[in-house]
Amino acid sequence: MEKLLDFYTDYLISSTSQTSATGLSRLLDNTISHDSITRFLSSNNFDSKSLWTSVKPLVRVHENDNACLVFDDCIIEKQYTDENPLICWHWDHAKGRSTKGVNLLSAFLCYPKRWTSRGTSFVHHV
Protein backbone atom coordinates (compact mmCIF):
# COMPACT_ATOMS: atom_id res chain seq x y z
CA MET A 1 0.00 0.00 0.00
CA GLU A 2 2.78 2.46 0.91
CA LYS A 3 4.53 1.67 -2.38
CA LEU A 4 1.39 2.48 -4.37
CA LEU A 5 1.00 5.75 -2.47
CA ASP A 6 4.62 6.63 -3.34
CA PHE A 7 4.02 5.79 -7.02
CA TYR A 8 0.84 7.86 -7.10
CA THR A 9 2.40 10.84 -5.29
CA ASP A 10 5.45 10.83 -7.59
CA TYR A 11 3.13 10.57 -10.60
CA LEU A 12 1.12 13.62 -9.47
CA ILE A 13 4.24 15.66 -8.71
CA SER A 14 6.00 14.86 -11.99
CA SER A 15 3.03 15.09 -14.37
CA THR A 16 2.73 18.14 -16.57
CA SER A 17 -0.77 17.37 -17.84
CA GLN A 18 -3.93 15.56 -16.80
CA THR A 19 -3.47 12.59 -14.49
CA SER A 20 -5.59 9.48 -14.06
CA ALA A 21 -5.45 5.99 -12.63
CA THR A 22 -5.28 4.71 -16.22
CA GLY A 23 -2.36 7.04 -16.95
CA LEU A 24 -0.41 5.79 -13.93
CA SER A 25 -1.17 2.18 -14.85
CA ARG A 26 0.12 2.80 -18.39
CA LEU A 27 3.24 4.49 -17.01
CA LEU A 28 3.93 1.38 -14.90
CA ASP A 29 3.51 -0.87 -17.99
CA ASN A 30 0.22 -2.14 -16.53
CA THR A 31 2.02 -3.89 -13.66
CA ILE A 32 -0.67 -2.33 -11.45
CA SER A 33 -4.15 -2.15 -12.96
CA HIS A 34 -6.05 1.13 -13.04
CA ASP A 35 -8.83 -0.63 -11.08
CA SER A 36 -6.35 -1.41 -8.27
CA ILE A 37 -5.25 2.22 -8.20
CA THR A 38 -8.85 3.45 -8.14
CA ARG A 39 -9.77 1.02 -5.32
CA PHE A 40 -6.70 2.14 -3.35
CA LEU A 41 -7.60 5.82 -3.70
CA SER A 42 -11.27 5.20 -2.86
CA SER A 43 -10.57 3.07 0.20
CA ASN A 44 -8.22 5.47 1.99
CA ASN A 45 -8.71 8.74 3.79
CA PHE A 46 -5.89 11.07 2.76
CA ASP A 47 -6.30 13.85 5.29
CA SER A 48 -3.93 16.04 7.30
CA LYS A 49 -3.79 13.48 10.13
CA SER A 50 -2.65 10.69 7.78
CA LEU A 51 -0.14 13.07 6.19
CA TRP A 52 1.34 13.94 9.60
CA THR A 53 1.42 10.26 10.60
CA SER A 54 3.35 9.55 7.41
CA VAL A 55 5.95 12.32 7.78
CA LYS A 56 6.35 12.45 11.57
CA PRO A 57 9.09 9.75 11.80
CA LEU A 58 11.15 11.55 9.15
CA VAL A 59 10.62 14.92 10.83
CA ARG A 60 11.79 13.51 14.18
CA VAL A 61 14.94 11.98 12.62
CA HIS A 62 15.94 15.28 10.99
CA GLU A 63 14.56 17.61 13.64
CA ASN A 64 16.83 20.49 14.64
CA ASP A 65 16.53 24.14 15.64
CA ASN A 66 16.92 25.32 12.03
CA ALA A 67 14.37 22.96 10.44
CA CYS A 68 10.81 23.75 9.54
CA LEU A 69 7.87 21.90 8.05
CA VAL A 70 6.14 23.95 5.35
CA PHE A 71 2.56 23.24 4.30
CA ASP A 72 1.07 24.73 1.15
CA ASP A 73 -2.32 24.26 -0.39
CA CYS A 74 -3.61 25.00 -3.85
CA ILE A 75 -6.94 24.60 -5.56
CA ILE A 76 -7.18 22.88 -8.92
CA GLU A 77 -10.29 24.45 -10.43
CA LYS A 78 -12.97 22.08 -11.73
CA GLN A 79 -15.78 24.53 -12.45
CA TYR A 80 -17.63 22.24 -14.88
CA THR A 81 -17.40 19.01 -12.84
CA ASP A 82 -20.23 17.82 -10.60
CA GLU A 83 -19.63 18.27 -6.89
CA ASN A 84 -18.51 15.26 -4.84
CA PRO A 85 -16.44 14.81 -1.64
CA LEU A 86 -13.22 15.65 -3.52
CA ILE A 87 -14.49 18.33 -5.92
CA CYS A 88 -16.36 20.94 -3.94
CA TRP A 89 -16.21 24.58 -2.91
CA HIS A 90 -13.06 25.86 -1.18
CA TRP A 91 -11.99 29.36 -0.18
CA ASP A 92 -9.28 30.54 -2.58
CA HIS A 93 -7.25 33.17 -0.71
CA ALA A 94 -5.40 34.10 -3.92
CA LYS A 95 -8.67 35.02 -5.67
CA GLY A 96 -10.50 36.23 -2.58
CA ARG A 97 -13.55 34.06 -3.31
CA SER A 98 -14.84 30.51 -3.18
CA THR A 99 -13.83 28.25 -6.05
CA LYS A 100 -15.12 24.81 -7.02
CA GLY A 101 -12.30 22.31 -7.40
CA VAL A 102 -9.82 19.99 -5.72
CA ASN A 103 -8.00 21.29 -2.63
CA LEU A 104 -4.46 19.89 -2.69
CA LEU A 105 -2.24 20.04 0.40
CA SER A 106 1.54 19.59 0.07
CA ALA A 107 4.17 19.35 2.78
CA PHE A 108 7.90 20.11 2.55
CA LEU A 109 10.52 19.48 5.18
CA CYS A 110 13.11 22.24 5.02
CA TYR A 111 16.41 22.37 6.81
CA PRO A 112 19.71 24.00 5.85
CA LYS A 113 20.82 23.12 2.30
CA ARG A 114 17.95 20.72 1.58
CA TRP A 115 14.24 20.65 0.75
CA THR A 116 12.37 17.35 0.84
CA SER A 117 8.86 16.81 -0.48
CA ARG A 118 7.10 14.64 2.08
CA GLY A 119 3.58 14.25 0.90
CA THR A 120 0.53 15.39 -0.93
CA SER A 121 -3.00 15.13 0.38
CA PHE A 122 -6.36 15.78 -1.18
CA VAL A 123 -8.80 17.52 1.14
CA HIS A 124 -12.19 15.72 1.22
CA HIS A 125 -15.38 17.33 2.47
CA VAL A 126 -17.86 15.03 4.11
Q: Mean pLDDT by 10-residue block, N- to C-terminus, for the chain (126 residues)?
A: 81 83 92 91 81 82 78 88 88 89 82 62 60
Q: How far apart are CA 45 and CA 40, in angstroms?
A: 10
Question: Are 64 and 87 in a shared domain?
Answer: yes
Q: Using one digit for the tens of pLDDT, what is the confidence trace for 75-109? A: 889 989 998 888 889 888 888 999 999 888 887 77
What's the distance, CA 58 to chain centroid? 18
Q: How far apart are CA 65 and CA 84, in angstroms?
A: 42
Q: How far apart are the first and last CA of the chain?
A: 24
Which residue range(s) make up the domain with 36? 1-44
Question: Are 40 and 60 in a shared domain?
Answer: no
What is the reported pLDDT for 117?
58
What is the reported pLDDT for 97?
92
Question: Are 119 and 70 in a shared domain?
Answer: yes
